[in-house]
Chain A
Amino acid sequence: MVTAAEGAGAKGAGAAVEIRNVTQAFRAGDSDLPVLDDISLSVRPGEFVALVGPSGSGKSTLVRLLAGLDRPLFGTVEVDGVRVTSPDPSRALVFQDPTLLPWRTVRGNVAIGPQTRRALARSRARIDDALALVGLTDFADAWPAQLSGGMAQRAALARALVNDPAVLLLDEPLGKLDALTRRVLQGELLRLWQERGFTAVLITHDVSEALVLADRLVVLSPRPARIREVVEVGLDRPREQSAPEFVALRARILALLDEEATTQPDELEAAH
């Protein structure tokens, strides 16, 4: 798994993701709560796809299935033709909360991946590279409790990237950051994606963010989530948020989401 050429981050390292007829439901108290309803989606290798939808629509559930943390009730998830049944370091996940282990320094957190493969000793350079990649070299020995929100999320990103993932799953990774930090990190994410060539699946409720980053937007309906529409963005990067095409696209997607939000009378009933 660990070769000499690693860390070069050759373009085209991304994997194809295939979601086929996935349905997922949970039991909430006495009632069954359907969350995903027959979702099918193909993501090309190295593509950047964003899932947007109202909050509580089951976006995070889908990402957990992709990560292999949960298994779907019906349907399959495949990555490069292999069915996903358990978590794997080739599919990295970054949460909304950085979830750094507080008793490990930044470097210790980034080292978790190599350590689980007993490759800590020969991964020193990789870990340093990952820290440098997100600009945390000077904070390698800091405790997570000392970091600001943006820095903590950078550390979480480095921790995911040190495994050189083929798929990077981003579950609202910038959701809790202030507007300024968020903009900076959006740029960073784009740069990392372009440099490393992984397939990226981003979950967000921020339509602008999705439009700045993604190749395609998948608009989901409220719970139980169905794919409402898939929108090709087709704008050159870096994208200017004030460009007329951008504004028009944004308005169209927001209209789609609004429409969905108002035509869901049964949503509350389903939750009870």
Chain B
Amino acid sequence: MASTPLTAASPDTPPARPAAPPPAEPTEQTEHAEPTVQAEQTVQGAARIHAALQKVTHPVRINPILTGAGILAWIAFSVLTETVSDSPRLPAPDIASIHRTTGFTAITGLVVAALAAGLWALSATRGRLGARAAGRVAHGSAWLFGAAVWAVFWEISTAKTDVLETPYFAAPQEILDHLWSDRRILAESLGNSLQLLALGFVLGLIAGLATGVVIGWWQQANYWVHPILMFLGPVPTLAWVPVIFALFPTAYSGAIFLIAVSVWFPITVLTRAGIVSVPRSYYDVTQTLGARSWFLVLRVSLPAALPSIFTGAFMALGSSFVSLTVAENFGVNSGLGWYLNWQKGWGDFPALYAGIVVLVGVCGVLLTLLFRLRGWVLRWEKELTRW
């Protein structure tokens, strides 16, 4: 900051020019030659600086051995799945299930290998697309290889040898088979789950923000609400289930409430914490600019509390998943939580795993989306280029 006082002080004036030629040699020749030499040196310097910076900011190094090994390992997985015969010890239904999807599984492996190879080829091209592809390949090659090793191990230990015994362990093919054959009911469950989660989360978020702002601003409200928050907030969702389903007219409304409560608690606590810690100078300065209470509440304290609120949102998302699966197991007879419980009742482990795969995907995607949202909303917080 302090190291560039000149540019800092007058950003609109051009940068300082090189000093006049040294007065020691006042001949005409040097006076004319000097500036051009200096200019050339500057340009050379700029090119060197650019190259050096490129190395610092883009340390992308694709490891060809690792990437190649990853691609080959996925091909090996496909070949293994397709050519090696399945274990004769497998029960008949499993054999049938594996048979249905073996070809598909082998193709999946080849598709992964082809995608990786394609991306690798793309990374050789110039421009932004190539740079992005190079980044992806460099970053993902270890995972590519690791996942292939895991897939081969999984395939051998289940379908090919039955070392990890059925029905508790399932081959990749069987999970794919269930994902496909149960696609209708899984999609329906996913839709119902997302709807219930969205309703509960949004309601809890609004209520939490409102409570947090109110108790962060008004001492009197804090006096009454804070103890309630501290005692009722941390009670696990499961404990509320009997009460809520007795008090609420429908199981669905009870489930929404259950999720909303589990979101409300962390959002309220962290909104309040964020608002309480807003520097007083923000209020002072906006007040002298003419701001009145609503401006202070909505346009100063709330944005200033956003980093804290997002921390609350991450906690809320986690606890809302818990509440969702709990609610779906009690009373609400649909959704992914219900699907898992239902398949458990049948003892159908491959189907259970298929449901878990979907749930894992949902949680991961939602969390990633929240991270992206946070990154965008709090972009002012990032360490950006300084002038």
Contact = CB atoms under 8 A, between A and B. Distances in A.
Contacts of B386: 145-148
Contact of B12 (A138, A143, A180): A138
Contacts of B282: 99, 101
A185 interface: yes
Nearest to B2: A178
A246 interface: no
B285 A181 contact: no
Given A87-B287, A101-B303, A163-B290, A184 B384 contact: no
B375 to A, nearest CB: 14
Q: How large is the interface on B (under 10, 10 to 19, 20 to 34, 35 or more residues)?
A: 35 or more
B287 A147 contact: no
Nearest to B386: A146
B290 to A, nearest CB: 4
B380 interface: yes
A180 B384 contact: no
B109 to A, nearest CB: 46
Contacts of B285: 93, 95, 99
Contact of B387 (A116, A151, A180): A151
A103 B387 contact: no
B8 A181 contact: yes
Interface string A54-98: 000000000010011100000000000000000111011101010
Contacts of A234: none
A117 B295 CA distance: 10
Contacts of A135: 10-12
Given A151-B11, A181-B5, A146 B288 contact: no
B36 interface: no
A150 interface: yes
Contacts of A138: 11-12
Given A101-B303, A102-B381, A103-B380, A116 B292 contact: yes
A143 B384 contact: yes
A172 to B, nearest CB: 13
B2 A142 contact: no
A9 interface: no
B289 A67 contact: no
B83 interface: no
B33 interface: no
A138 B387 CA distance: 12
Contact of B288 (A67, A117, A136): A67
Interface in A120-173: 135-139, 142-151, 159-160, 163
A106 to B, nearest CB: 11
Given A93-B284, A95-B285, A116-B286, 14 more contacts: A88-B288, A92-B288, A93-B285, A97-B281, A102-B380, A102-B381, A103-B380, A112-B286, A115-B295, A143-B379, A147-B387, A148-B387, A149-B8, A160-B288
23 contacts: A64-B284, A67-B284, A88-B288, A92-B289, A99-B281, A99-B284, A101-B303, A101-B304, A112-B286, A112-B289, A115-B295, A116-B289, A135-B10, A135-B11, A138-B11, A145-B384, A148-B4, A148-B5, A149-B8, A150-B9, A151-B387, A163-B289, A181-B5
